Chains A and B, each alone.
Chain A
Amino acid sequence: MMDREQCLRVLAGRRTNQVVVGAYGAGRDFRELAPSPLNLCEVGTMGMASSIGLGIAAGRPDCQVWVLDGDGSLVMNIGSLISIANNRPKNLVVFVFVNRIYEASGGQPVVGIDRLSFAGMAEAAGFEQVFEFSDEEQFERELDQVLASAGPTFVVMNAEGKRRIPINRRSTNLEEWLLVRRTLAEQTAE
């Protein structure tokens, strides 16, 4: 198991102009570690991060989109793997942080977590690239290759760790959505 915060710090260090769609723990922690007008880290409904990421990637093929999903969230919208693979956005990278629990709702085990394979499901759905990491040094070493691959790319991150940001923290989520939209529009205009 890797340390999630450490993995997010590595990602933050590589981040340039990517749109980042994040869910719950991973998303909110990434937003704190890597502030940007291109962070969309409140998705409103559990499971929607991967679908929102597909929409942004389809609408802006000139931008790379990173989805930082959780295992519980992705299980809730697992069909999105099929939709993403079928629509083949080259610019979409889906990271799923696997801590094996519903972190935001009490720490219960994620359904089927002892049997399922996220990498196996992504491969079966037809993702172009599938990676899985359980070692931080290997992740850091190979991340450039992951990000350079023509997607859609799926990355299993076996990582756990304490949430940096309290779950009940009030966030200005609507403003965040409006800011990402405005920032992308300004990039178009340039």
Chain B
Amino acid sequence: MKALETVHPLLTELRRCGIRHVVTVPESWSVDIDRQLHYDRHFTVIQVSREEEGVGVCAGLHVAGRDAAFVIQNGGMLASVNALAGVSRQFQIPLLMLIAYRGSFGDSAQNAVNQIAKGIVTEPVLRALEISYEIAAKPEDLRVIKDVHDYAKAWCRPAAVLMKKEAMYLR
């Protein structure tokens, strides 16, 4: 796997947070991020088959004393609501979720029409779960990851960054 010339700012921010473990389910917008994470030996990538599993894996990493980032699509967050409530909230896990915000304004992918329904309910579901979040529209907005991570750790609760396409793609 070839290294890209520019380090993705998401990786830079994870380093700034002291995070080495990244739990992922691949997503079409996260191709660059996935490639760099797998190439960069600083990070231990744990790929899971479904996002709800990842909520459990991140909780286990927390018990083990490891900070982790959970890189998924908003559809995966929606599929994980049971575990987000029953594990992350119940056991005060400072889960850092970095979520591709499919179906949001500006999602102009050919199949975006299939994403709109998920985009519409993403923020209301996060609010219903009492999960605080920020939105990163551009790569430079990813600097908020450190603030969100600090917040999650300080208050022992999940928190999220919703990432738009421009913040995730390097090309």
Contacts and interface: CB of A to CB of B under 8 A. Distances in A.
A55 B47 contact: no
B65 A184 contact: yes
A69 B126 CA distance: 30
A166 interface: no
Contacts of B111: none
Nearest to B48: A83
Contact of B59 (A52, A63, A80, A86): A52
Interface residues of A, number: 35
A55 B63 contact: yes
Interface residue SS majority, chain A: helix
Interface residues of B, number: 32
B97 to A, nearest CB: 15
Nearest to A65: B60
A26 interface: no
B64 to A, nearest CB: 3
A58 B63 contact: no
Nearest to A177: B91
A80 B64 contact: no
6 contacts: A21-B60, A43-B56, A51-B54, A53-B60, A57-B60, A181-B64
Interface of B: 21, 23, 44, 46-50, 52-66, 68, 82-83, 85-87, 90-92
Q: Which 4 A-B pairs have the closest CB atoms?
A: A55-B60, A59-B64, A51-B56, A45-B86
